[in-house]
């Protein structure tokens, strides 16, 4: 059986053998939230529970992933400081209604994953700040197919590259290209 817990304006779906087990899980969640050191949930926790179908669980999770992907796409291609709510809504509608826009969004996501793999292969991630990792992957994705790509890759290899890649970037002034097309 599946249950939806609504707790202080957020929700979670859980699987439980029966209603009694679901009530125990909800009580544990409330206890954990009351002990949250951030105080984010406060002293009063409002919680409800209802039984749902697996189809409802799947539909809700698919909707959440679509919203996550929309945010990713907008952050990649638009300046959040100048994007209006109306423009965001139009982009969101285009993603929902236009198969090509949806495909471009998914293609960008896969491209970003390839850039993350490239950075993981060539860079010492213990030395690279998370913000640099994220921003560099984004810059690499947007520069694919341009001369700027090699410049970005070389600069990151020089600064954060693993020893063999950093040495090559300093000597050759280029970052090594991977023969595995799935990485670059």
In a domain, 103, yes or no: no
pLDDT over threshold 80, residue 50: yes
Is the domain of 36 the same as that of 67?
no
* 62-79 pLDDT, tens digit each: 888 888 888 888 888 888
Is the domain of 79 the same as that of 34?
no
Contact 123, 156 (CB under 8 A): yes
User: Could you give the number of structural domains in the chain?
Assistant: 3
In a domain, 184, yes or no: no
* Cα three-residue angle 100-87-102, rounded to 5 degrees: 15
In a domain, 182, yes or no: no
pLDDT at residue number 40 = 61
In a domain, 48, yes or no: yes
Mean per-residue pLDDT over the chain, rounded: 84
pTM here is 0.64
In a domain, 183, yes or no: no
Q: Give per-residue burial for 57-83: e unless 16+ CB within 10 Å, then b.
A: beeeeeeeeeeebbeebbeeeeeeeee
Structure tokens at 60: 């809700």
Percent of the chain predicted with pLDDT > 70: 88
pLDDT at residue number 69 = 87
Domain ranges, residue 119:
108-172
Is the domain of 141 the same as that of 126?
yes
Is the domain of 21 the same as that of 76?
no
Structure tokens at 68: 């996550």
pLDDT over threshold 90, residue 180: no
Is the domain of 74 the same as that of 45?
no
In a domain, 125, yes or no: yes
**What phi-psi label fits residue 145: left (phi over 0), alpha (psi between -120 and 50 degrees) or beta?**
left
């Amino acid at each position: 059986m599946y249950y939806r817990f609504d707790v202080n304006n957020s929700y979670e779906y859980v699987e439980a053998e029966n209603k009694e087990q679901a009530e125990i899980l909800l009580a544990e969640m409330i206890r954990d939230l009351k002990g949250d050191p951030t105080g984010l949930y406060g002293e009063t926790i409002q919680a409800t529970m209802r039984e749902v179908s697996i189809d409802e669980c799947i539909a809700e999770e698919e909707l959440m992933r679509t919203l996550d992907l929309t945010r990713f796409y907008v952050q990649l291609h638009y300046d959040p400081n100048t994007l209006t709510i109306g423009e965001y809504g139009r982009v969101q509608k285009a993603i929902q209604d236009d198969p090509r826009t949806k495909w471009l969004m998914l293609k960008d996501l896969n491209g970003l994953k390839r850039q993350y793999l490239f950075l993981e292969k060539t860079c010492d991630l213990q030395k690279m700040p998370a913000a640099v990792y994220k921003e560099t992957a984004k810059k690499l994705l947007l520069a694919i197919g341009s001369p700027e790509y090699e410049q970005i890759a070389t600069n990151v290899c020089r600064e954060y590259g693993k020893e063999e890649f950093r040495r090559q970037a300093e000597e050759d002034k280029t970052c090594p290209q991977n023969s595995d097309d799935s990485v670059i």
